[in-house]
Amino acid sequence: MIEKSNDLKNVGDGYTFIDLFAGIGGFHLALHNLGAKCVFISEFDKYARETYKQNFKKIDPELISSDRFGGDITKIDAKNIPDFNVLCAGFPCQPFSVAGYKKGFEDTRGTLFFDIARIIEEKKPQAFILENVKGLLIHNNGRTLLRMKEVLESLGYSFFYKILKADDYGVPQNRQRLLMVGFRDKKIAFKFPKPFPLQTTMSDILGGNCTKTVGYTLRVGGRGSGMGDRRNWDTYLVDGKEVRLKPEHALKMQGFPEDFYFPVSEAQAMKQLGNSVAIPMIQSVAEQVFISLNKRNNDNSK
């Protein structure tokens, strides 16, 4: 994971957040690293929930064992969610991805965005951070993203968006994702974080001379296609030999700590990592969100 300068280590102190469509907790780790506290989680998949529990019970056992670790978001009453400052959600990407059928809001999973909106409408957080595939930017000729923007602005929020690359934020993965940020106080100025150099390469991760400095995007399906297949994403040439990614490699490519534990099969672990976020990229965005909130709060206190 990325190192923080001393003056930013606690930039999220005093802030609370919720982790929706939480997966295995990439958002949680990113904001926890900045000093913020998670007060509610929602994740539907039973295998991802198990991995989440195993790794976060040492951080916040009370949260993990409580009814604040929710499942199906469509069945969660927003009134029962504790108050919080920042909403985080890496909501389902299949309706907007190249790999999916691109049905957008016609796909039931696409409508899960509106569960985010109803929670924002009820709880009125100070800010939100949303993540999705880059294909959302141009889906339906841009009308899908425009609709999301209109919904969030109608709830009283600003809306900033940008495609970011994981390898611009320290980890060797060609992972491009659309990040969306908004503030209830529309006067808050926001800029997405500036890129910084790689902190590790695929040679470092795979323990030999790899022909690629930056790796392919981690995916959910198509594992084991092989070097000669155009769909290959998990096999590399290292010291002249083919090497296939294992979870311990993929963890580093996503910026997870080395002691992150998977109580599931290797196949499930790779699926969960392919569905996760690149922690250093999310942490860099969250850092800027907290900086913007702190600046506005300081200005208002003068």
pLDDT of residue 8: 57
Extended strands (E) in the chain? 16-20, 37-42, 69-70, 86-89, 127-133, 160-165, 176-183, 235-238, 241-244
Average pLDDT over the chain, rounded to an integer: 89
According to DSSP, the β-strands at 235-238 and 241-244 are antiparallel
Crossing angle for the helix pair 266-275 and 247-254, to the nearest 10 degrees? 10
pLDDT of residue 143: 82
- How far apart CA 137 and CA 156 sit, in angstroms, is 22
pLDDT of residue 136: 87
Least confident of 6-20, 107-121, 164-178, 189-203: 107-121
- How far apart CA 15 and CA 65 sit, in angstroms, is 22
pLDDT digits (tens, 9 = 90+) for 159-169: 999 999 999 99
Q: How confident is the model over 185-194, as a mean pLDDT? A: 95
DSSP string, 160-219: EEEEEEGGGBTS-B--EEEEEEEESSTT----PPPPB--S--HHHHHTS-BS-SSBPPP-
- Residue 221: pLDDT over 60: yes
pLDDT of residue 144: 84
pLDDT of residue 1: 45
pLDDT of residue 112: 81
Q: What percent of the chain has pLDDT over 90?
A: 72
pLDDT digits (tens, 9 = 90+) for 56-88: 999 999 999 888 998 988 899 999 999 999 999
Q: How confident is the model at residue 302 (pLDDT cuts 50, 70, 90)?
A: low
- Residue 4: pLDDT over 90: no
Position 216, amino acid: Y
pLDDT of residue 114: 86
- How far apart CA 10 and CA 189 sit, in angstroms, is 21
pTM of this prediction? 0.90
| Residue 61 contacts residue 55 (beta carbons within 8 Å) | no
Strand partners, 160: 181
Q: Which residue has the higher pLDDT, 5 or 253?
A: 253
- Residue 22: pLDDT over 90: yes
Q: How confident is the model over 36-58, as a mean pLDDT? A: 95
pLDDT of residue 222: 77
**In terms of Cα–Cα distance, which of 48, 25, 16, 9 is closest to 282?**
25
pLDDT of residue 103: 55
Q: How confident is the model over 262-271, as a mean pLDDT? A: 95
Q: How confident is the model over 271-280, as a mean pLDDT? A: 96
Q: Is 278 helix (H, G, I), strand (E, B) or coil?
A: coil
pLDDT of residue 5: 43
pLDDT of residue 224: 80
Least confident of 74-88, 224-238, 262-276: 224-238
Q: How confident is the model over 7-18, as a mean pLDDT? A: 85
Active site residues: 93
pLDDT of residue 77: 93
